[in-house]
Structure 1
Amino acid sequence: MIAASVALGALALALAWPVPVALSRAEWPARSPATALALWQGIALGGGLSMIGALLAFGASPAGSLTGAATALLPVLVAGPIPDGFGVAHLAALTLAVGLAVHLALNLGTTAVRAERARRRQHRLIDLLASPASEPTGARVLSHPMPVAYCVPGLRTATVVTEGLVDLLDDDELRAVVGHERAHLDQLHHLVLLAFRAWHAALPWFPIANRAERSVATLTEMLADDAPRRRVGVEPLRTALLRVGSSGATAAYADAPVDAVDPDERVLERRLARLEADLRPLDASARNANWLLATGIVAVPVCVLAAIAF
């Protein structure tokens, strides 16, 4: 049990700092954003499981298994006394593990509820203020001079553009922007971003949580760029990004318009650089290796926890 705790602790430490820092600074994610996104998800999930698992393994070590610890401690949880072998450090580790798991789960739930409420509010505003679908994009149109496009995900989806955007762009550029927004909806990026926003909200003092959320948001933008690039071409998409970016607005994914403007201009710069460089994806062997790494990062703590459960 102690060996399992040390192993999981070492993995949690690696996934909490050097691994995500190296990934956030790497250049290859721009070439294969889907692969990098899977790796980020593996790091987040594997790191959380490893952190909680290390605490559980240490706290349950006097009993020899998680089941044994539960059997020994639950009956005396209120009345006592503490069973032999369990010290303050063991009980503190078990309490911290349970508290951390509950804290993360509650933040995920509350973040999801807030996002759903925001989406419903946006759908009501769109129904009230937006004009019917426009040609040639099929997006709803808001009467506003600022050039903005955004999408609202969920069971009911909507893609919205402003009159300012329609006036600013030609037909191909407008198709590229709307195609970008619809790619966010089709690829369910809001679910990926929701998990990382919840992680950041749960651990706002944890620098990697902020770094991970920003990196994942950038990757989803790159993935959404690939759909219109294939259908409309690179040039209309690049020109649309330049025109919209220079106007001070954006055409980025958001749960709601208040989130649509990304204050980090480096995201736009990285998207433009990726389009201008026309980067080639990683080869199949490199992509497979990263997918296996992402799977392994999650599988290791799961297997260790399963091994010490009984």
Structure 2
Amino acid sequence: MNTANRSFALVMATAAAPYGMVLLGGCGLGAYVVGRVAEDGFDTLRRGVLLPAVAMLALLLIGAAAGASSVTRQVAATRRLIDHVDRNRAIPPLGTPLGVEVVDHDEPFAFTFGFGEPRVAVSRGLIERLSADELEAVVVHERYHVHARDPLKLVAARAAARTCFFLPAVSHLVARYLAGRELAADRRSLRDLGRSAVAGALFKVVAGPDWDELDTAAAMARPDMLAVRVDQLERGTEPSLPTLPGTAVAISALVLAVLGGIVTALTLQSGLSGAAGADHSLSVADLGGAIAGGLACTAGWVLLIIVAWRRLDRMGLTTTSSS
């Protein structure tokens, strides 16, 4: 589990947490809310724990819509990029590695794109400027993205960040994933071709042409990652990446705790209401006890995050160094 894989796993697990809470209690809570509305009208949604519950559901629905929109845009961009590559395809010059598509463009660049069967594209300018070993280093790097399914992971990671826009830690984890995958692909090239070939390729490859869909749809290194990639090249091992900001982690933990408290409080209230009978109105003490119980139960979420943070720190995921 390198930095990219750990970060991607944490992105998906963190993004799934708030929606998992709702799904776990979804059927019973949904029936309870519908029953309350049928009995007391929509005004009941503005009383007690139902008000924050409605706000939570609205937040999650907005997030789900944002995530779906992100996936839609990325899929559309990928289709445009595939068409762009197909329209500008050139005949591979002699010595071009097998399985690589050549784009008729003067600038030296390379990228991986596509979902089901990712493809590697390199420009004619790249082939003309790189030596055979440097070109092979670039292709090995891109094929690492192919085998790791990075284009598909990128779609999922970006969608997760949009879906959980209220958890700032997710966006920072996505940034760690983006950096980690480039470093891992560079290490594969270093292992197979050596430092000279990778260094030559690293300083000759540019960010690519000004295609709008390129940043959205391709597994491609950003120029701002050059410093940390050079650092790895000099060290020979993966350098430390910037830590997750403590503020972002704290806000995310607090939001998860509050969401969990709302779900648990609503579950307890529905159980108390059922036990008391349909004609019994919950007292303030009952409602307060339900909310307090919900917050107490979600203390486990906070404890889990603290334990996970310490574990990640021992694994080096939270160790910092400026890039």
TM-score bin, normalised by smaller chain: 0.5 to 0.7
Identity %: 20
Amino acid at match of 1:36: T
Q: Please point out which of 230, 233, 238 is paired with 2:191.
A: 230
1:275 matched to 2:233: yes
Q: Which has the higher contact order (CA 8 A, sep 6+)?
A: 1
Task: Identify unmatched segments of 5+ residues in structure 1.
Answer: 1-33, 283-296
Contact 1:107–1:199 under 8 Å retained in 2: no
Q: Please point out which of 31, 40, 53 is paired with 1:80.
A: 40
Q: TM-score, normalised by structure 1?
A: 0.64
The 5 A counterparts of 1:202-213 are: 202=163, 207-213=168-174
SS at 2:185's partner residue? helix
SS at 2:97's partner residue? coil
For 1:26, the equivalent position in structure 2 comes to none
Paired residues, what number? 244
Q: Please point out which of 106, 125, 128 is paired with 2:87.
A: 128
Distance 2:128 2:65 in 1: 44
Distance 1:126 1:49 in 2: 35
For 1:109, the equivalent position in structure 2 comes to 68
Amino acid at match of 1:128: R
When the two chains are superposed, the root-mean-square deviation of aligned CA atoms in Å is: 4.0
For 1:35, the equivalent position in structure 2 comes to 2
Contact 2:104–2:123 under 8 Å retained in 1: yes
Q: Please point out which of 206, 214, 217 is paired with 1:257.
A: 214
For 1:44, the equivalent position in structure 2 comes to 11
SS at 2:40's partner residue? coil
Amino acid at match of 1:77: V
SS at 2:49's partner residue? helix
1:146-191 per-position Cα deviation (integer Å, ceiling 9, x unaligned): 1111121212432111121111110110011122112112101123
Q: TM-score, normalised by structure 2?
A: 0.61
1:38-71 per-position Cα deviation (integer Å, ceiling 9, x unaligned): 44345434444555677x69xx9xxxx7665434
- Structure 1 185/208 Cα, relative in aligned 2: closer, same or farther at 3 Å? same
SS at 1:77's partner residue? helix
Contact 1:108–1:199 under 8 Å retained in 2: yes
Displacement after TM superposition at 1:255 (Å): 11
Distance 2:74 2:42 in 1: 43
For 2:52, the equivalent position in structure 1 comes to 93
Whose Rg is larger?
2
